[in-house]
Amino acid sequence: MFPRSFKEDHPRIRRGEGVYLYDESGRAFLDAASGAVSANIGYGVEEVAEAIARQTRDVPFAHGSVWDAEVNERAASLVAELAPAGFGSVWFVNSGSEAMEAAMKMARQFFLERDGVSSSKYLIIGRQNSYHGSTLGTLGIGGNVNRRRLFMPMLFDHPKIEAPYCYRCPYGATYPGCGIRCAEELDRTIRRIGARYIAAFVAEPVGGSTAGALVPPEEYWPRIREICTVHDVLLIADEVMTGCGRTGRNFAVDHWGVVPDLIGTAKGLAACYYPVGALIVSDRVAEAFRKGSGVFAHSHTFNGMPAASAAVVAVLEYMKKHRLVERAARWGEFIEKEWVPELVTQDLVGDVRGKGLLWGLELVKDRVSKEPFPAAAGVASRLKALALERGMTLYPGRSMVDGERGDNVIVAPPLVIAREEMARVREILLDSLKALAREL
């Protein structure tokens, strides 16, 4: 193994069941991070494992340039059913990064198909404090300083606007008097560069781990949609983390009734039972390809692999059967009412934000001035370690204040979590925060 870190030791995994992971000694860890906010249905679901095994025995792979497969069509139907009306096609990939790479290329090719090869639309406006994947393409549209820094000379760097980071408004303004400048900035940026060069705007509807589950003001997404439409710019929703029920709606854009042009999703799609993602394509975009060249100039060997599709079908059917999207919504309301008032009074906790079962805690040195900790203190990672010592996983993020400083942790347990397990998450979280406060 080339390890994730040559300098860190990790417990060795043995198995998983429900919301728990077990190490080789049999010690249980409550997975309050759902892996990487991805194990949405928990571990050890026999019917999913069985569906994958059955398909693998029949045929695991059939190359898309030669074969169609019923199981792929079934998976695509279930995914399209989850998406807003007007999304009738699904392009399967193997990860979130691949979904977003495909979105970038599809946005560019859409305009070539529609307007001819002289179309000058190619730029994709992204946001600061965003993450769309680790490939060089997606790092170019992302705004996670930490993940970009080493590779800067290799990136094609697309334009960025500020994120709706209300706790530390980049304009020093306060909602609602701010006039959602963070959304208006998109309009200004498109005008400055020239809409004829802009193919798309990309954003996470609820921010992921980069800044700790940023939830925008109510008017933000409807206004963003309007700006994209006016300028003939595609709207790409990165729902890799937020999709498939995580925030209490099928897709997080549903909270605002906004319909994008392309939706990238992965993580919860097969909920860690298979590495699979999808680019969900609006009929308007698909139609340009159908009428045009007929071919998306992009593919990977494992796109649309039957074994992966079997996993998608089994997971989405399991989600439906157990009404897990509704369950995530109910947990979101519970957390908002029962946890947030208590969490925001804790030492070190500056802000708590989120929806459904995706919550972020921003950690600060001073709750009044909002002063962050020095980057070198590694406070979010330390909280993760303290929680792990207590038998629970968390998902840390950093650098969102100024590219150096800033600490957050994501709390995002599997959607199947039960009441007593949630109580355990709260207990360990509070205890770990107290232990961290004592250390600092």
- CB of residue 103 vs ligand PLP: minimum separation in angstroms? 10
Q: Which stretch binds ligand PLP (CB under 6 A): 19-27, 179-187, 237-245, 376-384?
A: 237-245
Q: How far is the CB of 332 from ligand PLP (least distance, A)?
A: 18
Asked if 126 touches ligand PLP (CB under 6 A), the answer is: no
Number of residues that bind ligand PLP (CB under 6 A): 14
Count of residues in the chain = 440
Whether residue 284 contacts residue 47, with contact meaning beta carbons closer than 8 Å, is answered with no
Least Å distance, CB 158 to ligand PLP, is 15
Closest contact distance (angstroms) between CB of 27 and ligand PLP is 26
Among 113, 185, 238, 421, binds ligand PLP (CB under 6 A): 238
For ligand PLP, the closer of residues 207 and 332 by Cβ is: 207
Residue from 40, 55, 95, 250 in contact with ligand PLP (CB under 6 A): 95
Q: Does 133 bind ligand PLP (CB under 6 A)?
A: yes
The residue within the footprint of ligand PLP, chosen from 29, 91, 110, 131 (CB under 6 A), is 131
Please work out, in degrees rounded to the nearest 5, the angle formed at the alpha carbon of residue 53 by the alpha carbons of 48 and 55: 100
Q: How far is the CB of 401 from ligand PLP (least distance, A)?
A: 19
**What is the C-alpha to C-alpha distance for residues 15 and 270, in angstroms, rounded to an integer?**
18
Distance CA 294, CA 144 (A): 35
Read off the DSSP letter of residue 400.
T
Phi-psi region of 25 (alpha: psi -120 to 50; beta: other; left: phi over 0): alpha
For residue 11, say if its preceding peptide bond is cis, omega within 30 degrees of 0.
Answer: no
**Token pair recorded at residue 304:** 């649309």
- DSSP of 186-205, one letter per residue? HHHHHHHH-GGGEEEEEE-S
Give the DSSP letter string of 92-114. EESSHHHHHHHHHHHHHHHHHHH
Cα(184)–Cα(81) distance, rounded to whole angstroms?
A: 32
Ramachandran angles phi, psi of 236, nearest 5°: -105, 120
Q: Taking a C-beta distance cutoff of 8 angstroms, is the pair 200, 138 a contact?
A: no
Question: Least distance (Å) from ligand PLP to the CB of residue 210?
Answer: 8
Q: Closest CB to ligand PLP among 98 and 421? A: 98
Ranges within 274-303 binding ligand PLP (CB under 6 A): none
Give 269 or 349: the residue with its C-beta nearer to ligand PLP.
269
Closest contact distance (angstroms) between CB of 118 and ligand PLP is: 32
Binding track over 373-412 against ligand PLP, x by CB under 6 A: ----------------------------------------
Closer residue to ligand PLP in complex, CB, 262/428 = 262
For residue 287, the minimal CB distance to ligand PLP (Å) is: 26
What Rg, from alpha-carbon coordinates, does the chain have? 21
Among 30, 69, 183, 266, indicate the residue that binds ligand PLP (CB under 6 A): 266
Read off the amino acid at residue 408: N
Of the candidates 100, 180, 215, 364, which one interacts with ligand PLP according to CB under 6 A? 100
Of 5-13, 234-242, 248-256, 378-386, which segment contacts ligand PLP by CB under 6 A? 234-242
Kindly state the DSSP code that residue 337 receives in the 8-state scheme.
I
Closest CA to 110 of 293, 280, 278, 279: 293
Collapsing DSSP states into helix, strand and coil, what is residue 150?
A: helix
Determine, following the binding rule CB under 6 A, whether residue 96 of this chain makes contact with ligand PLP.
yes
Is residue 101 part of the contact set for ligand PLP (CB under 6 A)?
A: no
Comparison of 288 and 316: residue with beta carbon closer to ligand PLP: 316
Q: Which range of residues in 16-24, 96-104, 305-313, 428-436 is near ligand PLP by CB under 6 A?
A: 96-104
Of 10-18, 125-133, 184-192, 322-330, which segment contacts ligand PLP by CB under 6 A?
125-133
For 322, the token pair is: 């157990």
Tokens of 288: 């340009």
Taking the complex as a whole, the smallest distance from the CB of residue 1 to ligand PLP amounts, in Å, to: 19
Residue among 52, 81, 54 at smallest CA distance from 276: 52
Q: Is 208 in the site for ligand PLP (CB under 6 A)?
A: yes
Tokens for 36? 């990487």
Q: Token pair for residue 278?
A: 């999808």
Q: How far, in whole angstroms, is CA 175 from its chain's centroid?
A: 25
Strand pairing category for 198-203 and 123-127: parallel
Residue number with CB closer to ligand PLP (111 or 220): 220
Give the residue at shortest CB distance from ligand PLP.
96
Q: Does 354 bind ligand PLP (CB under 6 A)?
A: no
- Residue 240 interacting with ligand PLP (CB under 6 A): yes
CA dihedral 260, 223, 208, 15 (to 10 degrees): -40
Binding site for ligand PLP (CB under 6 A): 36, 95-97, 100, 131-133, 204, 208, 238, 240-241, 266
